[in-house]
Amino acid sequence: MLSAQEEQAGVPLIACNSSGEEEQAGVPLIAFNSSAQEEQAGVEVDGQQCMLEILDTAGTEQFTAMRDLYMKNGQGFALVYSITAQSTFNDLQDLREQILRVKDTDDVPMILVGNKCDLEDERVVGKEQGQNLARQWNSCAFLESSAKSKINVNEFCTRVLVSGEMKAVYGTVTPLIKRHPDVSAILSTGGKSPRYSQTPARLGNLSTNLDDSDWTNTLYLSPQQSGLVDSSFTEDVTMSAVMLKEDDPGEAASFSMFPEFLQSYLRHSSSAIFDLIEEYETICEEQVGMLKKIVTRATPGQQKFSQTASMLWLLQQEMVTWRLLTSLYRDRIQSALEDDVMIDAAAPSESEKVIVENLFQRDSLVRQSQIVVDWLETIAKDEIGDFSDNIEFYAKSVHWENTLHTLKQRRTPSHAGFSRPLVTELDPDAPVRQKLPLADLDREDDIRMLKYLFTLIRAGMTEEAQRLCKRCGQAWRAATLEGWKLYHDPNISGGVELQPVEGNPHRCVWKTCCWRMAEDEQFNRYERAIYAALSGNLKQRVLEETTEHYHVIQKFIILGDLDGLMEEFSDWLSHGKPALPSHLLRFMTHLILFFRSLGMQTKEEVSVDILKTYIQVLVNKKHTDLIAFYVSHLPADMAIAQYSEFLECVTETDQRKHCLELAKEAGLDVAAVTKTVVENIRKRDADDFSHHDLALDSGTSEEDLRKIDVIDWLVFDPSQRAEALKQSNAIMRKFLGSKKHEAAKEVFAKIPEDSMREIYKQWEAQGMDIPLPAEDQNAIREHLCIRAYLEAHEAFNEWFKHMNSPPQKPTLSSQAKFTETVAHEMKEKEYEDAEVDPERSHQMTLLRRLCLPMMAFLLHSVLHSTEQHQECLRLADIVSSEQQKLYQVFSKEELRKFLRKLRESSLLLLDKDLDPLGYEIQS
């Protein structure tokens, strides 16, 4: 006889096809489930009919983890090969070894099956080969079959069930051939086989102790507890297997919820806020369904299994919280709109039903309390599933049939011997009135049925509970479940036609009886719980206050305490460790947006902290397309700072453009954002300019490259060219001050050549007749000055390179033309560099002090080397000129050095019989 645990778990028989057998033999995995079902029986175990269940593993060869899981749970195996394909036969040994390894035993019920035996002309695997292999495998069963010709089809399904190993585990197994479905569909070559039957959803392992059980937990059973075998098992094998390869399958499967929530928000207007919340619930429901399938396929005990189960629970809680939010706030808003509507008091002659209806209409607290009760019932109903097909152990028409049978036997003359005391009457009150027990089987059935009845009533399924009572021969109990209904006689108010009377006219008497039954310990605890719930006689005690995040949120939503909820959010964020789950932060963010849509006041600081935390989650998860929308709900200055911080890490040009487009769509100040990005990176090292000499240029670091690259943010939009000039000038000043001329050139190259023309064009497009603002004009002049400086520096580098290179005499072809001769003569001429205008703007004071003295020394070196000593002395006029006031940028040491250079030039002029200034001496 099967134990209760075995009845719940089922006895699978696994059919494994070798590699390539999916196409060659067409055999999917099959399983025989031992859950007793009268109408879907396939075999009989110790006289009990058992259901046949078929699963399909076509295509699961690549998912070895899933295959091992099936093997681990299987109790009997059929190894199938095709007699027309030698490769399928060759792979069977490895397949068998895999089964024995997974099962960790050599004693496994197994049968070897050669399929397609009707194709004798195409046979490549002889029958004797199969028989020899079966003998090597401890003389396991062997047969050849054909689905097309229906040869040994039923034998295939039954031989392994009647094997000695199966008998040892499960008792006598009797095949019910006439009750089998057409097993030829299993062995056929066409497509995937469907399930022959479906295992109904189960309640799970509910606690039998009403006083100590955590009944909340029973409403959130894991798929392992509930024993669910979803009818869509074969549809999602590939999807689940792929997800199971992830480090966190739950996180991977629910990754799409982040964009889905935003898309839903954008699709709905503010007037359709409750449609939006219902769509949120639908998204969560779909994800919960997917995660249930993944959890049922995961291996228990693994860390990823617990992570996925935790994610499943989290999303279940979110789903029901959205449901609660919809129900309560729809009523609260409606109540607020109808505050001024007066409701007439019920007349004294009105029925109980009408009075209570008026109460519900008038008193929002009572009405919303009932909404919460209804919500709790929907949660329980979601988890219960369909019980109507799961109550297989109750009598069909007569209650307490075992007690009845025993009492009848005792009245027969042949009855003799000791008899334990039993009730002598079978009315519903007999066990309590006589204080005598029922037969053991009846008492067990009663306990289980009352347990299910309580669960059904707790889920608000009173009518289903009544149908169950009638089905089990307890119509009197179904009548007791009817007494709670309020009395109403519609005929009192008049009418042409006679209407049926509703409810219980003696409801007070019924409630008093139920109240007393709930307090009478002679009754079963489930029966007491049933009537306590119906009559309202409940012990209102809380053993421990929940600290689960969603339960706390639900509490504040029910109480309507928005300030308390915000304070709780603030506490969660301030603690920081452990970090809040990303999906909880998504829920909190959209909850804030929901309250804002309703015009409700939320604590601004807390709301901002939630948004910022969620934005950081999106950044970490690389949800680039979502960030701009949520940033736009921050205060303007904070939104600019937050989005700028995100953009600092965006390096791809196309992605930068895309992010700016998203910012524009979200209503952000794009100009302010890009300016802030540039300034943040530009000001990262705030060190002042350091004095330098004529040492070699410094190299370009990684941070310098970031500063160079950041200018791109300002050149996408032509209207920001003026800002691009200002920021690039600031960066180039820094580079030039650090003697990083190559880096400055790269920054200069980032500015489009038409930028100045574009600046004037943008200014004129605004209808401005006055000149450009001084700030823009200064930026243009500075840009031109930097260009002149860089060109001069480049020219000097070219000259220096030329001067320090070995001279090469130009060659001239003997047949050179006149033009070539002229060009040859030009090559022999000296190179004379152009003089650079050193005018600087007031913003360039520090840079002038660093660069202009160096340029003066460089120019003196060029002129001195080319023996233009008189031109060297003219530098003194330029430096001392009051028009440019270049002498002000020289330090005392630099002026002394400069004068020494001029002295050297004057001495050389004196050596040439010229005066110190280079003029001829007048005699």
Query: How does pLDDT run across 418-432, given as a tens digit for each residue?
Result: 578 888 888 888 888
pLDDT of residue 640 exceeding 70, the answer is yes
Per-residue pLDDT band at 213 (split at 50, 70, 90):
very low
Q: What are phi and psi of 44, to 5 degrees?
A: -130, 125
**Whether 730 contacts 682, CB under 8 Å:** yes
CATH number at residue 17: 3.40.50.300
Burial of 341 (0-12, 13-18, 19+ CB in 10 A): exposed
Tell me how far apart the alpha carbons of residues 497 and 494 are, in angstroms, rounded to a whole number.
9
The answer to whether position 808 is within a domain reads: no
* Pairing assessment for the beta strands 76-82 and 141-144 based on DSSP bridges: unpaired
Instruction: Kindly report, residue by residue over 832-876, the tens digit of the pLDDT.
Output: 333 333 333 444 567 777 778 888 888 888 888 888 888 888 888
The predicted structure's pLDDT at residue 373: 92
- 42 lies in some domain: yes
* Residue for token pair 């450009």: 772
Residue ending a domain, choose from 162, 187, 212:
187
784, 803, 822: which is the final residue of a domain?
803
Burial, 437: exposed, middle or buried (Cβ in 10 Å; 0-12, 13-18, 19+)?
A: middle
Nearest Cα residue to 712 out of 657, 790, 649, 785 = 657
Determine which of 6-10, 295-299, 919-923 has the lowest per-residue pLDDT on average.
6-10
Instruction: Report if residue 13 sits inside a domain.
Output: yes
Region 444-464: mean pLDDT is 88
pLDDT band of 263, cuts 50, 70, 90 = very high
Q: What is the DSSP string of 332-394?
A: HHHHHHTTT---PPPPTT--HHHHHHHHHHH-HHHHHHHHHHHHHHHHHHHHH---TTT--SS
Share of the chain above pLDDT 70, in %: 70
pLDDT band at residue 175 using 50, 70 and 90 as cut-offs: very low
pLDDT bin (cut points 50, 70, 90) of residue 786 is: confident
In this prediction, residue 697 carries a pLDDT of: 62
| Bridge partners, residue 13, by sequence | 76
- What was the pLDDT predicted at 68? 59
Pair (649, 712) in one structural domain: no
Looking at the predicted structure, is the pLDDT value of residue 370 above 60? yes
143, 196, 496, 504 from 493: Cα distances, Å: 79, 56, 11, 18
The string over 55-88, giving b where at least 16 C-beta atoms fall within 10 Å of a residue's C-beta and e elsewhere, is bbbbebeebeebbebbbeebbbbbbbbbbbbeeb
Both 17 and 142 in one domain: the answer is: yes
Do both 90 and 160 map to the same domain? Answer: yes
Do residue 642 and residue 715 come from a single domain? no
Residues 661 and 730 in one domain: no
Adjacency order of strands within the sheet including 173-175:
31-32, 48-53, 41-45, 173-175
Beta bridge partners of 173: 45
pLDDT in tens, 332-368: 888 887 765 555 555 556 777 888 888 888 888 888 8
Q: What is the CATH number of the domain that holds 777?
A: 1.20.190.50
Regarding whether 157 and 100 lie in a shared domain, the answer is yes
3-state secondary structure of 481: coil
Q: Is the peptide bond before 838 cis (omega within 30 degrees of 0)?
A: no
Please report the sign of the dihedral spanned by the C-alpha atoms of residue 156, residue 133, residue 98, residue 102.
positive
Helix ranges (DSSP H) in 388-502: 401-410, 430-434, 440-458, 462-471, 475-480
Asked if 723 and 674 sit in the same domain, the reply is no
Least confident span in 150-154, 384-388, 544-548: 384-388
Residues 125 and 48 in one domain: yes
Judge whether 315 lies within some domain.
no
* 752 located within any domain: yes
Whether residues 789 and 874 share a domain: the answer is no
Whether residue 183 is contained in a domain is answered as yes
Among the ranges given (80-84, 115-119, 138-142, 749-753), the one the predictor scored with the smallest mean pLDDT: 138-142
- In the chain, the number of structural domains is 4
- The one-character DSSP state at 272 is G
Which residues are 44's β-sheet partners?
49, 174
Residue 77 · residue 15 · CB < 8 Å: yes
Given a cut of 90, is residue 566 above it in pLDDT? Answer: yes
- Nearby residues of 538 by Cβ (< 8 Å), 6 or more positions away: 532
* pLDDT reported for residue 187: 31
pLDDT-derived band at 823 (thresholds 50, 70, 90) equals low
Residue 119 shares a structural domain with residue 43? yes
What integer pLDDT is reported at residue 316 of this predicted model? Answer: 92
Q: Are residues 85 and 172 in the same domain?
A: yes
Confidence of residue 237 (pLDDT cuts 50, 70, 90): very low
H or E stretch including 119? Answer: none
Q: Residue 746 is part of which domain span?
A: 702-803
Asked if the model's pLDDT at residue 376 lies above 80, the reply is yes
Q: Which of 164-168, 288-292, 460-464 shows the lowest per-residue confidence on average (mean pLDDT)?
A: 164-168
* pLDDT of res. 3: 31
As given in the structure block, the two tokens for residue 677 are 């990005």
For residue 695 the two structure tokens come to: 């040492």
Tokens 């580079």 belong to residue: 735
Residue pointed to by tokens 């006219």: 505
pLDDT of residue 279 exceeding 60: yes
3-class SS string, 778-813? HHHHHHHHHHHHHHHHHHHHHHHHHHCCCCCCCCCC
- The answer to the question of residue 307 being in a domain is no
E strands in 166-309: 173-175
Determine contact, residues 915/909, Cβ cutoff 8 Å: yes
Query: How confident is the model at residue 746, as a pLDDT?
Result: 85
End position of a domain, from candidates 803, 822, 844? 803
Model confidence at 781, pLDDT cuts 50, 70, 90, reads confident
Same domain as 710, residue 670:
no
437 vs 1 pLDDT, higher one: 437
Torsion (CA) 562, 568, 569, 570 in degrees, nearest 10 = 110
The highest-confidence range among 20-34, 190-204, 592-606, by mean pLDDT, is 592-606
DSSP letter, residue 718: G
Domain assignment of residue 156, yes or no: yes
Please give the helix or strand (H or E) that residue 921 lies within, else none: none
Q: Which residue has the higher pLDDT, 386 or 298?
A: 298
pTM over the 0.75 mark: no
Mean model confidence pLDDT for the chain: 74
Q: Give the model confidence (pLDDT) of 280-331 as tens digits.
A: 999 999 998 888 888 777 666 566 667 788 888 999 999 999 999 999 999 8
